[in-house]
Amino acid sequence: MAEQEGGNGSPNSSSLTPYEEALEVLSSLIIRRTRADSSNLGDQFEVLFEYLKMLDLEKPISNMKIIHVAGTKGKGSTCTFTESILRNYGFHTGLFTSPHLIDIRERFRLDGVDISQEKFLAYFWWCYDTLKEKTDDNIPMPNYFRFLAILAFKIFAAEKVDVAIMEVGLGGKYDATNVVRAPIVCGITSLGYDHMEILGNTLGEIAGEKAGIFKDRIPAFTVPQPDEAVHVLEEKASLLNVPLQVAPPLDAKLLNGLTLGLQGEHQYLNAGLAVALCSTWLKRTGHFGDTNLEQTNTLSEQIIKGLTSASLQGRAQIVPDQHINNERSNELVFFLDGAHSPESMQVCAKWFSLAIKEYNLDQTLFHQQPDEAVKMHNGESGVQTKSIQILLFNCLTVRDPQLLLPHLMKTCADHGVYFKKALFVPSLSVYNKVGSQALTPSDPNVDLSWQFALQRVWENLMQDNQGKSTEVVSEELKDDMGMSASNCEHSAVFPSLPVAIKWLRDRVHQNRSVRFQVLVTGSLHLVGDMLKLVKK
């Protein structure tokens, strides 16, 4: 393939592998600006079509059979279900999602698998070198996300996928994926308050931005939404003659006793939308097959297999710590979920609360005493073992912890779950680097002011709710807080994620009769950092 000859525009460095070299160059496209600046042509939406012309991608994109999905919550899950269903129908699939958790290649999946390094490098350098040659001061190089979206279109066109499932990065109307003129079908997942500094302060304004992916007379589906959002979606749809329907949540009974591949009750909402998107795609592309849009009686074997075999990292994911756990029962288990909005915090808290009960049932004979924060159960050895829940948290500074943390704490408390300690850590990944080199070593001078602010919010919440929790910090957590930057009664700030993980592992070694269950949430970046470290 002609693209294999790319790479001429890259700096040579003997210390980097070819893949690391490409990631270095990709990192150079990252800018700090978060919203379009109309004074700079390179930030205007229209310039995207200039890039497509430079790469001869206009016709290939117009020929693609695309499913386009926007929304606040559940976009990645809906796209994952959709891809899995159509792959199980035998179609050659392309899936573009964001962000990645461990490796940039996660964003580009072919037939359910991350693109290979070899193919990534070939397509990356072809796009980069071509754009480098043709751009100038008037039309500068695209920024990081725009480049990735363009790269996705190039990959899927060159690989001749039967279907391309494109997840919107941010918003909809001005998102880089919205260069699609005529998708086969569009989807809008659950809407909520996120990226308000860019998308607007009301649910209606946010819905208006997401509805920007609607195209003239192209069918679209959404999930049950608040009235304010529904009105705007319907209004935008009517202006473009878009047949907009609400896809009902999937009826669990239709799975014939099986469970969804992605955990959490909210996934039935995403699964229902995915079924509607796939059924419409199959019909509009002439593949009628055995589809059932209404979900009234049965689902096809392919849909059931697609829904039950789908997998997505960092969403309701349970990872026992292999560093600690060997032949013994799992003593340190991380429950990972990249929730970062008030609504998703509630969903995450409910999932965690139910998951630890199921997990403990799987591990030992489990029973919970009324109103007790500590769960007691008989271990395999016959001695009593207790489970302690710990929160490991960070969020971006654009989020409001006064909205996130109360939702998390209250929903867990409603299910009888109380955290014995909350640990706050700074991000390991740096905003302007992609790849393994983006993980910064522990910096003794790291700015922890945001983590101290998060800690203050948590301590105030704990004081307000002191009467509702049945006990103070466990004895098992009182010793040796020397590694922390700030230790309070209910929380601690650590200078880095590796230091926090080491502290947890030390606690496990010192308390063999205790099972530590750690909820890691607040940011997909934090979840990605955790996966990089724990899965090493």
Q: Which residues are annotated as a binding site for Mg(2+)?
A: 98, 167, 195
Q: Which residue has tokens 């573009």?
A: 96
In eight-state DSSP terms, residue 512 is T
- What span, in angstroms and rounded, lies between the C-alpha atoms of 126 and 404? 42
Contact 307, 331 (CB under 8 A): no
For residue 414, what is the enclosing H or E element?
Answer: helix 401-414
C-alpha pair distances (Å), 114 with each of 36, 119, 205: 30, 10, 35
Q: How far is CA 436 from the centre of its chain?
A: 19
Return the structure tokens found at 51: 């890039």
Instruction: Give, rounded to a whole angstrom, the gap between the first and last alpha carbons of the chain.
Output: 34
- What span, in angstroms and rounded, lies between the C-alpha atoms of 295 and 247? 10
Q: How far is CA 219 from the centre of its chain?
A: 26
Q: How far is CA 241 from the centre of its chain?
A: 32
C-alpha pair distances (Å), 482 with each of 421, 448, 458, 500: 15, 16, 20, 11
Contact 231, 204 (CB under 8 A): yes
C-alpha pair distances (Å), 456 with each of 112, 342, 445: 43, 18, 21
- What span, in angstroms and rounded, lies between the C-alpha atoms of 57 and 164? 14
* Residue from 503, 512, 460 nearest 482 by CA: 503
Annotated binding site for ATP: 315, 337
- What span, in angstroms and rounded, lies between the C-alpha atoms of 437 and 455? 29
Contact 306, 84 (CB under 8 A): yes
At CA 429, angle to CA 425 and CA 431, rounded to 5?
A: 115
- What span, in angstroms and rounded, lies between the C-alpha atoms of 172 and 300? 31
Instruction: Give the CB-side neighbour count of residue 495, counting CA atoms within 13 A.
Output: 12
Annotated binding site: 98, 167, 195, 315, 337
